Amino acid sequence: MTKYIFITGGVVSSVGKGLTSAAIGMLLEARGLKVAMQKLDPYINVDCGTMNPYQHGEVYVTDDGAETDLDLGHYGRFTNTPLSKNSICTTGSIYNEVIAKERRGEYLGECVQVIPHITNEIKEDIHKVATEDVDVVLTEIGGTVGDIEGLPFLEAIRQFALDVGRDNVMYIHVTLIPYLGAIGEVKTKPTQHSVVRLREIGIQPDALACRTRVPLSEEVRDKISLFCNVEKRAVVEEMDVKFSIYEVPIDLHEHGLDQLVVDRLGLKSRKPDLQGWHDMLQVVRNPAQQVTIAVVGKYTELNDAYKSIYEAITHGGIHNKAKAEILKISAQDVAEGNAAQLLSGADGILVPGGFGERGVNGKIAAIRYAREKEIPFFGICLGMQCASVEFARNVLQLSGADSSEFSPKTEHPIISLMPDQEGVQDKGGTMRLGAYPCEIAKGSRAHDAYGRHKIDERHRHRYEFNNAYRERFEAEGMRFSGLSPDGRLVEIMELEGHPWFVAVQFHPEFKSKPIDAHPLFASFIEAALRGRKGRIS
C-alpha cells in the first residue's frame, strides 16, 4: 500500500518547502524505502518553460523533456527518484487537460466545475506517480497556504485522505518562526494563523517543520503544539544550516522527523544509512583545498537562475575534496579590455546556458580570455554556442560570425536554427528537450571524464552548431568529441592543446549530485585545481 506525504508551506514563500521535501525524500530512501516525488504548482503557466528566470529561477529539465520548477532539481540532487512529466503539475496543465476533456465530450454533458472536475484531475496526477513499487509519494504544494490559486490543490489533497484513508496520508506544514531581534524572542503567532488557514480547509497537519534562525525552546514548542493541535514530538525544529543545504537532512534526522514519518505512516524500514552523506559533509566542512570558478552569465545577481550550475560546481569541488568558490560575473560587465582584470582571480571560467543577445559579447570576451590564457573553460549550451562564435571570429578570422539567434542575416551563421525548428511559432514546450544520446570519441577529454563511449544528457535549445564550419574548426584544433549517434549534431567540442576547454550543447548540471558529481564538473574542477597549483607554485 503506497503512503502519501503532502508538504505545504506557511507564513512566507521561499520558506524552504522544496529543500525540506527533498531532505525527507533522501532520509526515507536512506531507510531503504522507494520514494516518488512531485510538485503541484498553482501558477497558470502550463509549465516553467516560458517563465523568466528572473522571476522564477532556473528551468529544470527532466529526461522526458518536461520544463519544470527548480525544486525538482533539489529532488534530483537529494534522491534517486526518477523525475518526469508526472513529477510536476500546474493549474495551467490541469485546466488544459480538463478543457481538452470537455471539448472531447468526455464529461457527458455535465457542468464542469472546480470541485469535482479540477480536484479529480489533480488527484489523478498524484496517483500517476504512485506506481506499484513506490512506498511513499511525497507531494509538495507550491505557494503559501492562503493563496487564492492554491485552494483547489489544498482541497484536492484534503479529499485525497478521504479516498485512500487518513492513516495512509501525512500532512507536513513547513512554516516560519520569525525571530524579533529587538526583543530577542521568536514569535509563534504567524504559524498559528497559517495552521488555522489549513484547518479551515479541513487539513490538520500531522507535523510542523519550523524554520527558524535560533533554536526553539521547550516552551515555544509546547505553545506551538497546543495552539496548532500538533503533538509536541511533531513540532520539529528546522534551523538555518551553517555550511551547506546538504546539512538539512541530517539536521531533520537529528530532530526525529524521519522516525516520526515512518511511525505515523506505519512504514517498515531499516535504520537510515547516512554514511555516504556524512562523508560528503565532512569534505564540505573541512575542504583540503580551494578553487575559484567564475560564472559569466546574464542572471548572476540571482542565486536561483543558475541553481543547478552552482550546485554542480560545488559537487565538482566536493569530488576533488575542495571548496569551489563561485565568482559571479555579469556578462554585460565584461569586455575585451577588462576581461583580464575581472577574471584574474578565476581558476576556471564557466559560461552557462541562456537566451537572447544581452551579455553575449561579454561571454565571448571571457571565453577568448580563457582560451588565450589557458584557463580551464567549461561552456554549457549557449556557452558552447558562444565558444563557437568566439573561435570563428578570433581564430578563423571570420568577421561578423555569429549565431543566427542574434544576427539572422549574418554572413557566417556558426550557430543556426535546427531544421526541425524552422517555422515553429509556439514558444512553450517546442525546443529540443530532454535526454538524447551522444557518442564520445576515444582519447578525448570528455571520454576521459565519462570513462564511457555512450552517454545520455538533457537538452533545451533551438539552435545548433552549423556543420558547414566543422572542417574549418577542426583544421585549427577544435575537436568535435561528442556527436549524436547519426553524427549530425555536435554535442561536445574541445580545444586541443589547451589545459581544459570543453563545451557541451546539453545541460550536464541537471544530473549532478553532491555524492555523485557529474563527471564533466569533476574533471573541470580538477583541471582548475591543477592550473591554480601551477600558477601559485
Site string for ligand GLN, 199-238 (x = CB under 6 A): ----------------------------------------
Q: Work out whether 350 is an interface residue with ligand GLN (CB under 6 A).
A: no
Q: Which C-beta is closer to ligand GLN: that of 224 or that of 520?
A: 520
Is 381 a known active-site residue?
yes
User: How far, in Å, are 32, 51, 83, 139, 320 from residue 170 at the CA level?
Assistant: 19, 32, 22, 10, 40
- Part of the chain binding ligand GLN (CB under 6 A), chosen from 7-15, 232-240, 457-465, 515-523: 457-465
Question: How far is CA 364 from its chain centroid?
Answer: 26
- Decide if 496 contacts 477 (C-beta within 8 A): yes
Is 386 a known active-site residue?
no
Output the residue with the shortest Cβ distance to ligand GLN: 353
Q: Work out whether 462 is an interface residue with ligand GLN (CB under 6 A).
A: yes
How far is the C-alpha of 223 from the C-alpha of 229, rounded, in Å? 10
Grid coordinates of 296: 559569466
Q: Work out whether 491 is an interface residue with ligand GLN (CB under 6 A).
A: no
Grid coordinates of 25: 525524500
Q: Work out whether 460 is an interface residue with ligand GLN (CB under 6 A).
A: yes
Q: Which C-beta is closer to ligand GLN: that of 340 or that of 424?
A: 424
Phi, psi of 90, rounded to the nearest 5 degrees: -125, 165
Spatial neighbors of 121 by CB under 8 A, at least 6 apart, are 94, 97, 98
Options 75, 78, 391, 463; binder of ligand GLN; rule CB under 6 A: 463
Question: How far is CA 51 from its chain centroid?
Answer: 15
User: How far, in Å, are 27, 81, 289, 420 from residue 247 at the CA level?
Assistant: 12, 20, 20, 45
Size of the site for ligand GLN (CB under 6 A): 11
Q: Which C-beta is closer to ligand GLN: that of 155 or that of 405?
A: 405
**Any idea what DSSP says for residue 466?**
-
Q: Work out whether 354 is an interface residue with ligand GLN (CB under 6 A).
A: yes
Identify the helix (H) or strand (E) that includes residue 208: strand 207-212
How far is the C-alpha of 112 from the C-alpha of 195, rounded, in Å? 31
Of these residues, 381, 439, 447, 464, which one is catalytic? 381
Side chain identity, residue 474: E
Q: Work out whether 307 is an interface residue with ligand GLN (CB under 6 A).
A: no
Please, what is the minimum distance in Å from the beta carbon of residue 358 to ligand GLN? Answer: 12
Is 447 a known active-site residue?
no
- Decide if 55 contacts 70 (C-beta within 8 A): no
Q: Work out whether 355 is an interface residue with ligand GLN (CB under 6 A).
A: yes
Match 472536475 to its residue by C-alpha cell.
Answer: 117
Of these residues, 210, 509, 518, 526, which one is catalytic? 509
How far is the C-alpha of 101 from the C-alpha of 29, rounded, in Å? 37
Of these residues, 253, 319, 459, 507, which one is catalytic? 507
How far is the C-alpha of 40 from the C-alpha of 119, rounded, in Å? 12
- Part of the chain binding ligand GLN (CB under 6 A), chosen from 5-13, 77-85, 155-163, 351-359: 351-359
Q: Work out whether 381 is an interface residue with ligand GLN (CB under 6 A).
A: yes
- Part of the chain binding ligand GLN (CB under 6 A), chosen from 40-48, 315-323, 366-374, 454-462: 454-462
Q: Which C-beta is closer to ligand GLN: that of 425 or that of 537?
A: 425
Restricted to residues 385-404, the positions that interact with ligand GLN (CB under 6 A) are 385
| Helix 360-373 and helix 382-394, axial crossing angle in degrees, nearest 10 | 70
- Part of the chain binding ligand GLN (CB under 6 A), chosen from 124-132, 323-331, 349-357, 445-453: 349-357
Please, what is the minimum distance in Å from the beta carbon of residue 245 to ligand GLN? Answer: 24
How far is the C-alpha of 93 from the C-alpha of 67, rounded, in Å? 12
Options 405, 439, 491, 526; binder of ligand GLN; rule CB under 6 A: 405
How far is the C-alpha of 314 from the C-alpha of 317, rounded, in Å? 5
Please, what is the minimum distance in Å from the beta carbon of residue 463 to ligand GLN? Answer: 3
Q: Which C-beta is closer to ligand GLN: that of 238 or that of 464?
A: 464
Question: Which residues of this protein are in contact with ligand GLN, per CB under 6 A?
Answer: 353-355, 381-382, 385, 405, 460-463
Give me the active site residues, please: 381, 507, 509
